[in-house]
Amino acid sequence: MISPGSSAGSKSGWLSRLKTGLTKTRVNIAGLFSGGVVDAEFLDELEVALISADVGVATSARLIDALRMRIKLEGLLTRDEVRRALSDEIASLLSPAEGRIDFSRARPLILMVAGVNGAGKTTSIGKLAKWLSNQDKSVLLAAGDTFRAAAREQLSIWGARNGIAVIAQSGGDPAAVVFDAVSAAKARGVDVLIADTAGRLPTQQHLMEELKRIKRAQDKAMPGAPHEIILIIDGTNGQNALAQVQAFDDAVALTGLIITKLDGTAKGGVLAAIVEARRARPLPILFIGVGEAIDDLQPFVARDFADALIGTG
């Protein structure tokens, strides 16, 4: 467990955890850059390495095409120059997805969190509450996962760690819990309310309907709420994440993403695949999760991520 104020909070701390987490990818990709000529075979190997890092077939092909062009136009000769060019390409691919929540939009600002089972919703909420406290925002949490007592308990622990209140009911209807929580957030004059929800698969139609109901309940308590609907994606889910984004967006119209577990066995390239899939209508990646501790949530920065992925940082 890393305590607040430790090196986990510093840039080098979380970046090194991100880099270690993406090691599997880095070994694959970085290995290709250790000497040798820049020829067609090298570019083919690079394309395969990108695909196996979850970047996706179409996106990998596009990146390699862009590289081929730059090699020609800029006369890149060494693999190291190509590595830097690739990192630049990935950074510019990802940068439209750099997004920040506008907290001045409403008070209280209501955030609803959704995602498949075990994606890291509750943990991310706990970390986000800490991040918001650091920005001098007052926060309230809503235990909208009423399926299991343990879920309520888990959110309460995060509330206690952050010294903030949690609105919960034993059992009952998640829509009623979030309705009460939005009303409480208004009455207490807090800056931000974050509502947790139970994990659900996009194929569980009744649970997706329930999510819509939870959303509507917030609008009843405060017209316009929730202001942010954030999908939590487990970075180790690979290409399956694309289907999750699509399904949750269809159901509740997402406003942003948090990608978790990038410190683990995640291959990281899935961020490029998601951003590419949403090129026409970019969906901001608000934060990335790089560990289980309270400070392990960082705003997404395309440049840093590309460097960590390709090994140029």
One DSSP character per residue, 198-250 reads ----TT-HHHHHHHHHHHHHHHHHSTT--SEEEEEEEGGGTTHHHHHHHHHHH
Reported as half-sphere exposure (CB side, CA atoms, 13 A), residue 119 has a value of 29
**Binding of ligand GTP by 199 (CB under 6 A):** yes
Contact call for residue 93 and ligand GTP (CB under 6 A): no
Q: Is position 123 an interface residue for ligand GTP (rule: CB under 6 A)?
A: yes
Q: Is 263 in the site for ligand GTP (CB under 6 A)?
A: yes
* 42 Cβ contact list (under 8 Å, min separation 6): 32, 36, 79, 82
Among 15, 151, 252, 308, binds ligand GTP (CB under 6 A): 151
Least distance from C-beta 290 to ligand GTP, angstroms? Answer: 6
Strands of the chain, DSSP E:
109-114, 139-144, 166-167, 192-197, 228-234, 256-260, 285-289, 297-299
295 binds ligand GTP (CB under 6 A): no
Which of Mg ion, ligand GTP, none is residue 87 near (CB under 5 to 8 Å by kind)? Answer: none
Given the complex with Mg ion, which of 13 and 174 has the nearer CB atom?
174
User: In the chain, what's the furthest Cα-to-Cα distance?
Assistant: 66
In the complex with ligand GTP, the residue whose CB is nearer, 9 or 264, is: 264
Q: Does residue 269 sit in helix, strand or coil?
A: coil
List the single partner that 261 binds among Mg ion, ligand GTP, none, CB under 5 to 8 Å by kind.
Answer: ligand GTP
- Segment lying near ligand GTP (by CB under 6 A), choices 74-82, 243-251, 268-276, 287-295: 287-295
Q: Which residue has the tokens 């209508």?
A: 281
Strands 297-299 and 166-167, by their bridges, are unpaired
289 touching ligand GTP, by CB under 6 A: yes
User: C-beta of 80: minimal distance to Mg ion in Å?
Assistant: 44
Instruction: Return the C-alpha torsion angle 7, 91, 230, 58, nearest 10.
Output: -140
Q: Does 152 bind Mg ion (CB under 5 A)?
A: no
Binding to ligand GTP by residue 227, rule CB under 6 A? no
Among 17, 121, 127, 261, binds Mg ion (CB under 5 A): 121
Rounded Cα distance, 24 and 42, in Å: 19
Site residues (vs ligand GTP, CB under 6 A) = 115, 117-123, 145, 151, 199, 232, 260-261, 263-264, 289-292, 296
Site residues (vs Mg ion, CB under 5 A) = 121-122
